[in-house]
Amino acid sequence: MSFSSGVKEELALVNSPARHCAIALIAALFHLCPVLEKEHAGIRTENPYAAAAFEAALRRVRLENIEVAKSGREIVVQIAGEQQVTRFLEMLKLDHAVRMGEAGSGQLADQAAAWPVSPVLLQKTCCRKTFLRGLFLAAGSVSDPSGSYHLEIAPLGGEDAEAVLKLLSSIGFQAKCTRRKGRSVVYLKDGEQISDFLGSIGATQSLMKLENARILKDIAGNINRQVNFEAANLKKTGIASDRQMEDIALIERTIGIHSLSEPLQQAARLRTENPDGSLQELADASNPPVGRSGINHRLQRLAQIAAKIREKEGYASWQ
């Protein structure tokens, strides 16, 4: 199961104990995938989790004559009977918007999708979050957190997208909007915002999964940075070592290694034998033992001697 489906499965099981929240959920799902006829009102969806959540919310607000019908992948969840339909529309504050007598059945559902959701239903923060849960169930998706972070609600009409952006902003989410195939897409890209959003709409287990993935990614990122840092240091050691080898070769060619003090001779020999050795490795190989700064000091002395030889012999200074 994809991460997205997992989120929806979890959301379908979230209870909305408060009646106001159950109405907000019904409003969201009805707004995005409405079924409306004179004797039926409900939703049509291919998502079983959206269907299950809608049915549970209908039961919560005690609407009666609930029918669930499946044909192929499509699921219709609706209430039946003129009286129930009236109650349903009153509950969603749509009773004034609908003129049942004037429109044919097919038109009613199209009109329902165009009616704005009543702000009265979205006054409480709990209801806004539940409404967003409904939108996500019907039209949301979120990418697997092991890859890049992306959560979206789509497709939406232009006005709906603006309303959703405002709603998200009212509870602290900075979502963005783009167009795809002529429809609007509202999306979040930031891992932390996506995590907060999942928490807000009630997907706490999915939030934990996402947080774990984020932590793993952070650790992997740190390891990469560490590896890059070490590689950069090795490269630095390599460049310094090349310079030292050249100095030592020059000394050998001119005044001879044997003219140097015993400690400098040893440092020169150790460097020649360990071109890639770090200062610490050269220090460890010294006899008698010497510290890292001690070996560094000796290598600098060799560099000074080589510089003097170059000066004397008219060599252009190394570099």
Applying CB under 5 A, the residues found at the interface with Zn ion are: 18, 20-21, 124, 126-127
By beta-carbon proximity to Zn ion, the closer residue of 127 and 198 is: 127
By beta-carbon proximity to Zn ion, the closer residue of 123 and 222 is: 123
Find the DSSP H helices in the chain.
3-12, 19-32, 48-60, 82-91, 105-114, 125-139, 158-170, 191-200, 204-253, 262-273, 279-285, 292-312
Nearest distance from residue 129's CB to Zn ion, in Å? 8
Write out the two tokens for 317.
């200074």
* C-alpha span between 219 and 29 (Å, rounded): 39
Of 56, 57, 70, the residue nearest 20 (C-alpha): 57
Nearest distance from residue 123's CB to Zn ion, in Å? 9
By beta-carbon proximity to Zn ion, the closer residue of 21 and 85 is: 21
By beta-carbon proximity to Zn ion, the closer residue of 58 and 109 is: 58
Nearest distance from residue 163's CB to Zn ion, in Å? 18
Nearest distance from residue 128's CB to Zn ion, in Å? 8
By beta-carbon proximity to Zn ion, the closer residue of 17 and 289 is: 17
Q: Is 26 helix (H, G, I), strand (E, B) or coil?
A: helix
Residue 56 neighbours by CB under 8 Å, 6+ apart: 12, 15
Return the number of other C-beta atoms located less than 10 Å from residue 234's C-beta.
Answer: 12
Q: Is 254 helix (H, G, I), strand (E, B) or coil?
A: coil
Q: Is 239 helix (H, G, I), strand (E, B) or coil?
A: helix
Nearest distance from residue 24's CB to Zn ion, in Å? 6
Query: Is the separation of the CB atoms in 31 and 131 below 8 Å?
Result: no
Nearest distance from residue 18's CB to Zn ion, in Å? 5
Nearest distance from residue 214's CB to Zn ion, in Å? 29
By beta-carbon proximity to Zn ion, the closer residue of 18 and 97 is: 18
Burial class (CB in 10 A: 0-12, 13-18, 19+), 210: buried
By beta-carbon proximity to Zn ion, the closer residue of 117 and 267 is: 117
